Amino acid sequence: MKQYCIRYGRTVIEMSAYSALLGLCIAVSSINSAEAGWPTFIVKYEGKQYPVLHVTHGGTITNITASQRTILITLESSQNGEVQLRIQKELLNATGIAYGADGHVSGIFVDQQSSEDYSAVARENDIIFTIPFTVGTKEIAIVSSDIPEFSGIAPAILGISSALMVILSFKSR
């Protein structure tokens, strides 16, 4: 019978194909059940409800709200730590928060201070954010600082203002 090796940290375990497959199934199962066991906030935005899964180390999330271009996480932090948030792309799209293919957004603010010290993992339907915070942190905001395009309005205004400048410069001569 063929033996397989599975490395777990510094430990190497030899086992049969059946045991290796069983071990892999148990490992995948525990990852999925850990994620399924995350506490969930139901965030309401424009009449719809979106579950936001979260895990916090070093503090407690007291509320999560959504508004135009912002998801606000209110917390009580007793020590330095981090928060992990699993946010549906549907909620990010609804609020107008733009995100890249890698899941990064245009702005994360920890107590109103911009933070680049976070990670994002984009998955098919959601993004998992891991955001560190310091003791005393009260809020974390995920925002979109993108300025919306004015599509056809901007060129029209530019054209009209240019035409007016030409007309006024000819009249002043």
Q: What is the pLDDT of residues 131-161, one digit of tens each?
A: 999 999 999 999 987 555 555 565 667 677 7
What is the per-residue pLDDT across 81-118, written as a single tens digit (0 to 9) for each?
Answer: 999 999 999 999 999 999 989 999 989 999 999 999 99
Distance CA 14, CA 20 (A): 8
Predicted TM-score (pTM) above 0.95 = no
> pLDDT: is 1 or 164 the higher one?
164
Question: Which residues on adjacent β-strands are paired with residue 105?
Answer: 99
For CA atoms 83, 88, 92, 95, give the dihedral sign.
negative
DSSP codes joined into one string, 36-47: HTS-EEEEEETT
Q: How large is the average pLDDT for residues 18-43?
A: 55
Distance CA 53, CA 64 (A): 10
Q: What is the pLDDT of residue 173?
A: 67
> pLDDT: is 36 or 57 the higher one?
57
Radius of gyration of the CA atoms of the chain, in A: 25
Q: How large is the average pLDDT for residues 35-48?
A: 88
Distance CA 75, CA 8 (A): 35
Q: Pick from 32, 38, 37, 68: which is nearest to 141 by CA? A: 68
By the 8 A CB rule, do 97 and 143 touch? yes
pLDDT confidence tier of residue 3, bands split at 50, 70 and 90: very low
